A and B are shown apart, each in its own frame.
Chain A
């Protein structure tokens, strides 16, 4: 389903539309919530709040407007709200340690993390698997070949294609930063 079809389905407020948007973007929402909150349980709360708020506001998603930045705004706000509530909230889970108070990540950091996760989720599964093994697990091509029981040439070609796709999708981040 392309972005326009996804947005059209979501705009109806149907469960199917919500499910399709969740499948496309829940990983990115969870990733940035985790980056802001540093806690899986709270990040899961932020995901719930994000999709409920987005569903309630689906009528405000204008036709032709890209969904990803719109959802990012809702997700970031949900995570930051939870971050602030945790800082001032009523639930004392652990004793406060004033020496370790930290600010949430900057807007730019969260946006980069969002874009990277969306790019990863758009890779074909077999390429994503190789990229994950290389970057997340820190494996070499030879180690990946052994782990996935495939010829090293296949690993290299998948890695090459995947990184070309990532560079194409993420190149603007390097340009902006430069």
Chain B
């Protein structure tokens, strides 16, 4: 890699004016741009803590899905084979169906709209979808004219997984999702007005992401 003493000197200068040490004006412009980028807050920003754990959860879910895809492929192959192999495949299918995947816990923290709130979402796959048990504490009952709505969020957008009000006090809310945590890795809860608008209000009170 090329060593550029003039560039080191230029970048180290405390003054913001272009230095005389650049070999030409174009190099000075490039060096100035580099120094501006070194001062850009975005360039120093760190990803939120806990993100790696969510990614590792996502890889676990994806690996489970790949396993199931491979098992499905295997079943198709076996069906095309002998009766004896069909029987063996049925045993495999039985094991897969009855074993079921393990539950996954996702921790949600309150936002500035509900700083005292927290929740844990326990997700487990069922044949008809993803069952979500949301154990909520510190979230006040929704005021008249408002309710809470839970969402799963991913690159493709938002999918609602249910609504609730917490007017009976803290407890567990049962929600259902048709999408997976691998594809929609974030879970949020918003406060919604009863205005007939199905879109999110954007007023997030609980989120699985670190603010």
List residues of chain A with CB under 8 Å of any chain B CB: 15, 18-19, 22, 26-27, 29-31, 34-35, 40-41, 43-45, 47-49, 51-52, 55-56, 78, 81-82, 85, 89-94, 112-113, 116-117, 120, 131-132, 134-136, 138, 140-141, 159-160, 163-164, 166-178
Contact indicator B43/A116 (Cβ below 8 Å): yes
Which B16-42 residues have C-beta < 8 A from chain A?
23-24, 26-27, 29-31, 33-35, 37-42
Produce 1/0 per residue, B175-198, CB < 8 A to A. Answer: 000000010011000000000000
Given A18-B55, A113-B37, A138-B39, does the pair A52, B62 have CB atoms closer than 8 Å? yes
In the complex, which residue of chain A has the Cβ closest to the Cβ of B10? A167
Q: Which of B45-53, B75-83, B84-92, B120-128 contacts A (4 or more CB under 8 A)?
A: B45-53
Stretch in B95-103, B129-137, B153-161, B163-171 with 4+ CB within 8 Å of A: B153-161
Query: Given A40, A112, A132, A177, which contacts B48 in the complex, CB threshold below 8 Å?
Result: A40
Contact (Cβ within 8 A) A136 B39: yes
- Measured between beta carbons, the chain B residues less than 8 angstroms from A159 are 12
Contact B45 A40 (CB under 8 A): yes
Residues of A within 8 A of B211 (CB): 41
| Given A91-B202, A173-B30, A174-B31: A49 touches B56 (CB 8 Å cut-off) | no
11 sample A-B contacts, Cβ–Cβ < 8 Å, listed by A number: A18-B59, A30-B47, A40-B48, A44-B209, A47-B55, A91-B200, A112-B37, A113-B40, A163-B9, A168-B4, A171-B7
* B residues lining the A interface (CB < 8 Å): 1-5, 7-9, 11-12, 14, 23-24, 26-27, 29-31, 33-35, 37-48, 51-52, 54-56, 58-59, 62, 153-158, 182, 185-186, 199-200, 202, 209-211
Shortest CB-to-CB span from A105 to chain B, Å, is: 10
CA of A68 to CA of B156 in the docked complex: distance in angstroms? 26
Give the chain A neighbours of B200 by CB distance below 8 A. Answer: 91-93
Contact of A45 among B5, B62, B155 (CB under 8 A): B155
- B41 contacts A27, C-beta separation under 8 Å: no
Say how far A50's CB is from chain B's closest CB, in angstroms: 9
For B38, B46, B52, B185, the residue with the greatest tally of chain A CB atoms inside 10 Å of its CB is: B38
Report whether B202 and A172 are in contact in the complex, using a CB–CB cutoff of 8 Å.
no
**A30: which B residues are within 8 A, CB to CB?**
45-47
Q: How far is the CB of A93 from chain B (nearest CB, A)?
A: 4
Q: Does A91 contact B157, Cβ atoms closer than 8 Å?
A: yes
Residues of A within 8 A of B55 (CB): 18, 22, 47-48, 51-52, 55
| Contact flag A140-B14 (CB < 8 Å), given A22-B52, A85-B155, A166-B8 | yes
Q: Check B11–A163 contact: CB distance below 8 A.
A: yes
